[in-house]
Chains A and B, each alone.
Chain A
Amino acid sequence: MKIFEVLNMYGVKTEELDAFTSRREAFRKLTNIGKNVAFAAIPTAIFAASIQKASAAHIPTVLGVLNFALTLEFLEAEYYTTGINTPGLIPGGRDSAVFATIEKHEVDHVAFLIKVIESYGGTPVAKPTFDFTVGGAFSPFTDYQQFLALAQAFEDTGVRAYKGQAGNLIEENGVLTAALQIHSVEARHASEVRRLRGLKGWITQAERGMGMPEATQAVYDGEDNLIQGGVNVTTVTPIGSDGITESFDEPLTTDEVLTIAGLFIVPSES
């Protein structure tokens, strides 16, 4: 699969992360890469900090995360672009306005991530070939309820995926902040798509929610975690466990995300 080739190329595996960490001091130097980044919407103070903290040793890790994110954004962008261009699929009014908004953001995220990757001297991954029917198992572009269900799965996955990568960006403030700024947009999308489906905007326990295909359960596994930072939250608040699990969104690892997203990616021929 192309996505695995990308990860091998850019190295987001944890053992390689450790190697970068140990070599960090030896390779530490200021670079002028940051000044080329097109952070149009990033506050000046954050932008300046990103220049100061730019350091060659961790850049391959950062590029790996950015290409991983780009792959997910390619998936989302193509999904929504196909959806809004399929006549008769999305009802007018609220639904149509919501998905036009989401589609624009995902297309913008693709372009933004490509700009950032190139500004760091990286090579953006090629857009994979997607099959949103998963070999015919789904029909999201002829069945609007399925379109909504997969949209929910993609958005809730996106939130968990970005969250899981934040720690890998901790050395590169500008990129970390930008990733967080995408992350919260994905969460806004997730909330609204869930609400369009008649669900709450937040995730209770590890419930995928009414009408979601069983195949999407991996998107929600682990969301019932009650231990945060070593604190069993049930012991420090009167709020019940449903409310606690809703209060904290959980991350997914790279491999967990790839297992989910990989369902929709057509393996490359090579």
Chain B
Amino acid sequence: MSQTKQSKAENSTEIQYNGNRRDFLKFGGATLAATGLIMAGCQEVSDFLPNGRQAPLASDQRAVPLGKGDIGVLNYAYTLEQLEAAFYLAVVANPYSGISEEEMTIMEDLRNHEVAHRDFLKAALGKDAIIDLTFDLSSVDFNDRASVLSTAKTFEDLGVAAYNGAGQLLVSADLLLIAGKIVSVEARHAAAIRSIFDADFTSFAGSDVVDDVNGLDRAFSPAQVLEAASPFIVNKIIANQLPTS
């Protein structure tokens, strides 16, 4: 498939940022001057002031611009897959007490899938990939089944809604197809986690995620998704160059 969204002039392989601080500063400064709006959400702007004598920031202190165009959307997906992979790696490394054989198998499978998604996206992005992010999973009690499974449910449902909302942001039909290949696996995960965790037999596609009128799953914007994920991500994710349609 080589069909692309002709109406978008942007070349999807061209990105404005590659992690270069000066480039980011140039952009950030212009935006600040124009609107003054970014400052509130970007408290670490000073971190980007050029200062040759300053030691490089630790990776968890670095703000991470996702970039723009299809690269930005892929980095957005890569952000979520990094988070999911980190979570399930921790779950499998330290299973909650009383975990059943079936649940352990599911946790191992989900770890494998999210690591595969993460590693694939990193390879697909190549030099445009964002850094390895630092996560804060301290709100999860890894020894507690309900804490682990409710977090898994949140992440999987969020992943589904994120990919559903991101499809329309992509220019490349090839990348849209790949996103489609991943999102249905996230939906299979979400249903399975709900099935083992929730007492309600209809929860696998419950009315909290599938609307009662049209039977549609949720679709979230990157802003909605990143807000929900931000408590778990130490790095500041800069998503303001992502496409909006």
Q: Name A's B-contacting residues (CB within 8 A).
A: 17, 21, 24-25, 28, 39-43, 45-46, 49, 52-53, 55, 93-94, 97-98, 100-102, 104-109, 111-112, 159, 162-163, 166-167, 170-171, 173, 176-178, 180-192, 195, 200-202, 228-229, 231, 233, 236-240, 243-244, 246-251
Q: Which residue on chain A has the smallest CB distance to residue B205? A: A188
Q: In whole angstroms, what is the CA distance A108 to B210 when docked?
A: 11
Contact of A237 among B3, B115, B212 (CB under 8 A): B115
- Contact flags B112-151 to A (C-beta < 8 A → 1, else 0): 1101110110111000000000000000000000000000
Contacts of B163 in A (CB 8 A): 180, 184
Do the beta carbons of B183 and A184 come within 8 Å of each other?
Answer: yes
Do the beta carbons of A41 and B216 come within 8 Å of each other?
Answer: yes
Contact of B164 among A28, A109, A184, A191 (CB under 8 A): A184
Do the beta carbons of B187 and A182 come within 8 Å of each other?
Answer: no
Do the beta carbons of A228 and B188 come within 8 Å of each other?
Answer: no
Do the beta carbons of A108 and B188 come within 8 Å of each other?
Answer: no
Interface size class of B (residues with CB under 8 A): 35 or more
| Minimum CB–CB distance for B87 against chain A, Å | 16
Do the beta carbons of A185 and B205 come within 8 Å of each other?
Answer: yes
In the assembled complex, B77 has its CB within 8 A of some CB on chain A: no
Q: In whole angstroms, what is the CA distance A53 to B123 when docked?
A: 32
Do the beta carbons of B205 and A237 come within 8 Å of each other?
Answer: no
In the assembled complex, B54 has its CB within 8 A of some CB on chain A: no
Do the beta carbons of A24 and B6 come within 8 Å of each other?
Answer: yes
Q: Which residues of B in the span 182-223 have a Cβ within 8 Å of any Cβ on A?
A: 182-192, 195, 201-202, 204-205, 210-221
Given contacts A43-B219, A184-B160, 18 further A-B contacts (CB under 8 A): A104-B215, A105-B210, A163-B177, A180-B164, A184-B184, A187-B187, A188-B188, A195-B191, A229-B174, A239-B112, A243-B113, A246-B112, A246-B113, A247-B182, A247-B185, A248-B182, A248-B185, A250-B181
